[in-house]
Amino acid sequence: MEFAELNRILELVSSGEMSVGDASKKLSLWQRADVQNVTLDLDRQRRCGFPEVIYGENKTAETIAATMQAQRDNGQPSLATRISSTKAEQVLEQLDGVSYNAVARVLRWNLPDQQCLAGRVLVISAGTSDLPVAAEAVETLLWMGIEYELIEDVGVAGPHRLVAQVERLRAADVLIVVAGLEGALPSVVGGYVDCPVIAVPTSVGYSTAFGGVTALLGMLNSCASNVLVANVDAGFKAAYNAGVMLRSLKQDSQ
């Protein structure tokens, strides 16, 4: 547990605003909540820096809403990925203040006094067909409280479009580059910057794209040494790791 949070709990106990029993639960090694067959890991934020994320593909709207509410009750922001518009509507009917990004298929619930994480991430989408994956990355950054910029439609078929953005590329602390087809864009971007480039292959492309496998293999074989590769269509995973990098840099500077 971070020192500031420990101090806060001790002050609440001292003032009588929190019972010893409640403080003991918050200071326990593993905090959890049982929510509709979900064992919610409330200790994840302390261990890993960010709260547990809800993968919503096969969960009901009721389970998602209950899990998000449990996180809120314990002072944690919520992020639920891969949420259909129909399911999102049902969640929004149950919870106030939740936002839904239909392109990203993401539900997000930030805290009103949530602290921002220092650093700047630039998300780049090779084409408009890659935008859903880029949007998932953006929503994840917003959930973590990270400043970001989004550059759309600068794929290698029109190299002049990327050249015009070089100064913006060089001002970022971490770049997330989303591309399908042959997946060449991260290598080109990597040659312009001195920071980590997280490449995200998408399943966009014709038959020999093999659902993103061609882009994945191309990125894994990048000649740019600063390129790391996430899973196919994994905008969330790329943004989460960008947050981990920035958080580690912040701790090192303190």
Q: What is the pLDDT of residues 9-64, one digit of tens each?
A: 888 999 999 898 788 766 665 576 777 778 888 888 888 888 999 999 999 999 99
Does 70 share its domain with 162? no
At 41, which helix (H) or strand (E)?
Answer: strand 38-41
Residues 246 and 144 in one domain: yes
For 154, the domain range is 117-253
Q: Please say which residue of 76, 109, 142 terminates a domain.
A: 109
Burial 108-140 (b: 16+ CB within 10 A, else e): bbbeeeeeebebbbbbbbbbebbbbbbbbbbbb
Please indicate, yes or no, if residue 104 is contained in any of the structural domains: yes
User: With contact defined as beta carbons under 8 Å apart, do 80 and 53 qualify?
Assistant: yes
pLDDT digit string, tens, across residues 202-250: 999 999 999 999 999 999 999 999 999 999 999 999 999 999 999 887 6
* Interval 117-174: pLDDT, tens: 889 999 999 999 999 999 999 999 999 999 999 999 998 889 899 999 999 999 999 9
Same domain, yes or no: 163 and 48: no
Residue 177: exposed, middle, or buried by beta-carbon count in 10 A (0-12, 13-18, 19+)?
buried
Distance from C-alpha of 176 to C-alpha of 186, rounded to nearest angstrom:
8
Domain count along the chain: 2
Are 52 and 142 in the same domain?
no
pTM: predicted TM-score of the whole model, two decimal places: 0.84
- What's residue 133's pLDDT? 98
CA distances from 207 to 52, 160, 212, 214, 224 (A): 36, 28, 10, 10, 27
**Pair (105, 173) in one structural domain:** no
